[in-house]
Structure 1
Amino acid sequence: MEITGLLSIDPGLESFKDHFRYRMQRFTNQKQLIEKYEGGLEEFSKGYLKFGFNREAGGIVYREWAPAAQEAQVIGDFNGWDGSNHRMEKNEFGVWSINIPDSGGNPAIHHNSRVKFRFKHGDGVWVDRIPAWIRYATVDPTKFGAPYDGVYWDPPPPERYQFKYPRPPKAQAPRIYEAHVGMSSSEPRINTYREFADDVLPRIRANNYNTVQLMAVMEHSYYGSFGYHVTNFFAVSSRSGTPEDLKYLIDKAHSLGLSVLMDVVHSHASNNITDGLNGFDVGQSTQDSYFHTGDRGYHKLWDSRLFNYANWEVIRFLLSNLRWWLEEYKFDGFRFDGVTSMLYHHHGINMAFTGDYNEYFSEATDIDAVVYLMLANSLIHNILPDATVIAEDVSGMPGLGRSVSEGGIGFDYRLAMAIPDKWIDYLKNKSDEEWSMKEISWSLTNRRYTEKCVAYAESHDQAIVGDKTVAFLLMDKEMYYGMSCLTDASPMVDRGVALHKMVHLLTMALGGEGYLNFMGNEFGHPEWIDFPREGNGWSYDKCRRQWNLVDTEHLRYRFMNAFDKAMNLLDEKYSFLASTKQIVSSTNEEDKVIVFERGDLVFVFNFHPENTYDGYKVGCDLPGKYRVALDSDAWEFGGRGRVGHDVDHFTSPEGIPGVPETNFNNRPNSFKILSAARTCVVYYRVEEKEGNHNSSDIGAANETLTDIAKLGDFEGINETSPADAVAKQEDLKAAQPSLIADDIATKANTETEEIEEETSDDK
Structure 2
Amino acid sequence: MKVPNKSVSEKQNSAVWIYSLFTDFDTSLFLMGKHFRLYEKLGAHLIRVDEVEGTFFAVWAPNALSVSVVGNFNGWNKTAHHLYRKLDSSGIWEGFIPGLGQGEVYKYAIKATDGRDLERGDPFARKWEHPPHTASIIWDTNYSWKDKTWLNKRPKSNALDQPISVYELHLGSWRRDPAEPERVLTYKEIADALVPYVMDMGFTHVEFMPVMEYPYFPSWGYQITGYFAASSRHGTPQELMYLIEQLHKNNIAVILDWVPSHFPGDAHGLYEFDGSHLYEHADMRKGFHPDWKSYIFNYDRGEVRSFLISNALFWLELYHADGLRVDAVASMLYFDFSRKEEEAGTNQYGGSDNLGAITFLKDLNEAVYTNYKGVQTIAEESSTFPGVTHPVAEGGLGFGLKWMMGWMNDTLKYFKNDPLNRKYHHHQLTFSITYAFSEKFMMPFSHDEVVHGKSSMIYKMPGDEWQKFANLRSLYTYMFTQPGSKLLFMGNEIAQNSEWNFTKSLDWHLLQYDSHKGMQDTVRALNHLYRTEPALYANNYSYDSFEWINADDQLQSVYVYIRKGPKAKDTLVVVLNLTPVLRENYRIGLPFKAKWKEIFNSDALALFGSGKVNNGLYLPQQETCHYREYSMIMDLPPLGSVVLKSVK
Aligned equivalent of 1:162: 145
**Does the 8 Å CA contact 2:63/2:91 hold for their aligned counterparts?**
no
2:3 aligns with none
1:529 aligned to 2:500? yes
8 Å CA contact retained: 1:378, 1:410: yes
Work out whether 1:308 is the aligned partner of 2:303: no
| Among candidates 563, 566, 569, match of residue 598 of structure 1 | 563
SS in 2 for 1:544: coil
What's the CA shift for 1:438? 3.5
Residue pairs, 1:472-491, within 5 angstroms? 472-474=459-461
Residue by residue over 1:375-403, the C-alpha shift from the partner in whole angstroms, topping out at 9 and shown as x without a partner, is: 00001111213111111111121101111
Q: Which amino acid aligns with 1:499?
A: N
CA shift at 1:528, angstroms?
1.3
Partner SS state of residue 271, structure 2: helix
Do residues 89 (structure 1) and 84 (structure 2) align? yes
How do 1:39-188 residues align onto structure 2 when only pairs under 5 Å count? 44-58=35-49, 59-91=54-86, 92-102=88-98, 108-139=99-130, 146-154=132-140, 160-165=143-148, 166-167=150-151, 168=154, 169-171=157-159, 172-186=162-176, 187=178, 188=181
Q: 1:373 aligns with which of 337, 361, 370?
A: 361
What displacement does 1:138 show?
A: 1.4
CA distance in 1, matches of 2:69, 2:369: 36
Write the deviation string for residues 395-451 of structure 1: whole angstroms up to 9, x where unpaired: 121101111121111011110112332244345454533344631322442425341
Identity %, equivalent residues: 27
Counterpart residue number, 1:461: 448
- Distance of 2:123 and 2:627 partners within structure 1: 60
Contact 2:64–2:274, Cα closer than 8 Å, also in 1: no
Query: In the TM superposition, what whole-angstrom CA distance separates every residue of 1:83-138 from its partner, at most 9, and x where no partner exists?
Result: 42311111232533333253xxxxx2221221111110012222111011111111
682 and 448 in structure 1: CA distance in 2 versus 1, 3 angstrom threshold: closer
Matched residue type, 2:617:
D
What letter is aligned with 2:110? F
- The amino acid of 1:586's aligned partner reads N
RMSD (Å) for aligned C-alpha atoms? 2.5
TM-score (norm 2): 0.86
Which residue identity is paired with 2:301? Answer: N
Find the aligned partners of 2:350 and 2:626 in 1 and give their Cα distance.
42
Deviates more, 1:299-308 or 1:190-199: 190-199
* Equivalent of residue 558 in structure 1, options 496, 502, 517: 517
Measure how far apart 1:613 and its partner are. Answer: 2.3
Match of residue 19 from structure 2: none
Query: 1:39, CA displacement in angstroms?
Result: 9.9
Deviation at 1:546, TM superposition (A): 2.0
User: Is 1:679 aligned to residue 644 of structure 2?
Assistant: no
What is the aligned partner in structure 2 of residue 227 from structure 1? 221
Question: Equivalent residue for 1:254?
Answer: 248
Cross-structure match for 1:500: 472
Give the residue type in structure 2 aligned to 1:118: A
Residue identity matched to 2:337 = H
Which residue matches 1:567?
A: 526
Counterparts in 2 of 1:691-706, with a 5 A limit? none
Counterpart-to-counterpart distance in 2, 1:544 and 1:436? 39
Q: C-alpha separation between the residues in 1 aligned to 2:340 and 2:612? A: 49
* Other structure's SS at 1:565 match: helix
**Worse overlay, 39-48 or 375-384:** 39-48
Give matches, 1:427-466, under 5 Å. 427-428=415-416, 430-436=418-424, 438-447=426-435, 449-456=437-444, 458-466=445-453
| Equivalent residues of 1:653, 1:670 under 8 A apart | yes
Within 2, Cα distance between the matches of 1:382 and 1:435? 49
Query: 1:267 touches 1:307 (CA, 8 Å); kept in 2?
Result: yes
Q: Which amino acid aligns with 1:79?
A: N
State the distance in 2 between where 1:608 and 1:526 align.
23
1:268–1:446 Cα change, 3 Å: farther
> CA–CA distance in 2 between the matches of 1:237 and 1:527?
27
Structure 1 residues 566-618: Cα deviation after superposition (integer angstroms, max 9, x where no partner): 111111111313323211221311222110011211000111222x2222111
User: For residues 125 and 136 of structure 2, what CA distance do their matches in structure 1 show?
Assistant: 6
**CA, structure 1 residues 138+101, in 2 after alignment: closer, same or farther (shift >3 Å)?**
closer
Aligned-partner residue type, residue 273 of structure 2: F
How many angstroms apart in 2 are the aligned matches of 1:173 and 1:265? 26
Change (3 A) 1:668 1:250: farther
Partner of 1:620: 590
Question: Residue in 1 aligned with 2:14?
Answer: none
**What is the deviation of 1:280?**
0.3
For residues 436 and 193 of structure 1, what CA distance do their matches in structure 2 show?
49
SS for the counterpart of 1:85 is coil
Is 1:270 aligned to residue 239 of structure 2? no
Give the 4+ runs in structure 1 shifted more than 6 A. 33-36, 39-43
**Contact 1:184/1:200, CA 8 A, preserved across alignment:** no
Report the equivalent of 1:336: 326
Residue in structure 2 matching 1:583, options 524, 547, 554: 547
Given that 2:596 and 2:646 are in contact with CA atoms closer than 8 Å, whether structure 1 keeps it comes out as yes
- Aligned position for 2:568: none
Residues 670 and 35 (structure 1), Cα distance of their counterparts in 2 relative to 1, 3 Å cut: farther
Question: What residue identity is the alignment partner of 2:613?
Answer: V
Give 1:216 shift. 2.1
Find the aligned partners of 2:425 and 2:607 in 1 and give their Cα distance: 24
Amino acid at match of 1:81: W
Shift of 1:669: 2.8
> Secondary structure at the residue paired with 2:479?
helix
Question: In structure 2, what is the Cα distance between the partners aligned to 1:95 and 1:53?
Answer: 17
The equivalent residue for 1:389 is 377
Aligned to 1:17: none
In terms of mean alpha carbon deviation, does 39-48 or 339-348 score higher?
Answer: 39-48
Cα offset, 1:139, TM superposition: 3.1
Residue identity opposite 2:473 in structure 1: K
Count of aligned pairs = 590
Deviation by residue 1:185-208 (Cα, 9 ceiling, x = unmatched)? 144332222122111222122111
Contact 1:179-1:213 at 8 Å conserved across structures: yes
- Residues 55, 281 of structure 1: alpha-carbon distance in 2 compared, 3 angstrom cutoff: closer
Residue of structure 2 equivalent to 1:242: 236
In 1, Cα distance between equivalents of 2:125 and 2:216: 18
- In 1: Cα distance, 2:371 partner to 2:105 partner: 32
> Whole-Å Cα distance in 1 between the matches of residues 527 and 370 of structure 2?
30
Match of 1:650 among 610, 619, 628: 619
> Following TM superposition, by how much is the alpha carbon of 1:348 offset from its aligned partner in structure 2, in angstroms?
4.2
Measure the CA separation in 2 of the matches of 1:327 and 1:526: 39
**Matches of 1:643 and 1:417, distance apart in 2:** 33
